[in-house]
Structure 1
């Protein structure tokens, strides 16, 4: 009986090729200036040289296409920050500043997809669920580090690790998104350094001493 391994491999390779072509085509069309919400499936399929029915075999709807595009973009956005949170922090504030520079650069590279992700997540439950899950995953990385610092006694013992992690993740993401939307790049370094200072002081800063009250004689 002849082996079916090679035919199956070829089918799998063809499917992966079609998927890559569709994703690349959608990204190129967005790079040309067409907003994601204005990309018709038919135009994407025609430019990718696949049948409309073939498109739907890989992506049941445009939400699934956006999620597939966003996987790489979101990973690139938070990748360097995850590395920093898991490092030893021996390089102090310079290390987190480097991570912020990388996040800003990644956002600029994938800005069209990330903007579409934020827009569509506002009304599409599948895209919103994807975005929440990914943000929750990155928040858990930060919380794990904060919990470890609390156990080591290197941060304020009154810190609420879970809430602090959420505030930091959303502050960074929203700040970079707004910054890249309104700034062409001239303020990137200032923004990176300011975010770095905010993160560092939030985690490792010493809380202010309580005010001294005058004794009543």
Structure 2
């Protein structure tokens, strides 16, 4: 029998790292929710709460910053994924359609606001986390710029806006707004913030070029 053949249900090292990072995401969210910042958490406290041995932790993560990079990769993927609800809108999408599309990334951010908040705070002094944050921004900017350019070509967005720079300004404003405003808002305030950002984006890109209502 060939001992080198892959075993059924064998999990690769990258897959195991991803599984562990997802496991630790809920652990970290609970710990930070109790009042400590991510910077204040020790590896010992994280692995104890997660029921993982020190040797297992260091087999997959260099340190606490590396764990955050892994956790951020998952939640960033979720955020980028739901962002397509905006830039995949049809050319005749209304303002109400835009509001529904923008709700998805807001809901995703709120669900993972502890991890996203840790990314923002840790990026100030950890280059690995900063690169992960920049990766999120770059992906969203590129997709939004493509959407703006396509809408301009179709005559459904303001043609005077520079797609790339317009996307950069918009995404960075949204990134800071999510962190500063949405993360700590209650349900009522979130609805009002969603109304405000929908109105702002509609006026910047689509007003006069798309139907206000269906």
In structure 2, the CA distance between the partners of 1:155 and 1:91, relative to structure 1 (3 Å rule), is: closer
The higher relative CO (CA closer than 8 Å, separation ≥ 6) is in: 2
For 1:12 and 1:138, how far apart are their aligned partners in 2?
28
Structure 2 unaligned regions, length at least 5:
210-214
Structure 1 unaligned regions, length at least 5:
208-217
Cα deviation digits, residues 41-81 of structure 1 (max 9, x gap): 11222333333232111111211111222223233334333
Kindly report which structure 2 residues correspond to 1:1-217, keeping only aligned pairs within 5 A, or say none. Answer: 1-4=1-4, 5-6=6-7, 9=10, 15=16, 18=20, 20-205=22-207
Tell me how far 1:24 sits from its aligned partner: 4.0
Tell me how far 1:177 sits from its aligned partner: 2.1
The two structures have a TM-score, normalised by structure 2, of 0.83
Tell me how far 1:188 sits from its aligned partner: 1.5
**CA RMSD across the alignment:** 2.7
The two structures have a TM-score, normalised by structure 1, of 0.82
For 1:63 and 1:159, how far apart are their aligned partners in 2?
38
Tell me how far 1:111 sits from its aligned partner: 1.4
For 1:189 and 1:91, how far apart are their aligned partners in 2?
20
In structure 2, the CA distance between the partners of 1:75 and 1:99, relative to structure 1 (3 Å rule), is: farther
Cα deviation digits, residues 80-110 of structure 1 (max 9, x gap): 3322212214331111211222233222221
Number of residue-to-residue matches in the alignment: 207
For 1:76 and 1:139, how far apart are their aligned partners in 2?
16
SS of the residue 1:122 aligns to: coil
Q: Is the 8 A contact 2:158 2:206 kept in 1?
A: yes
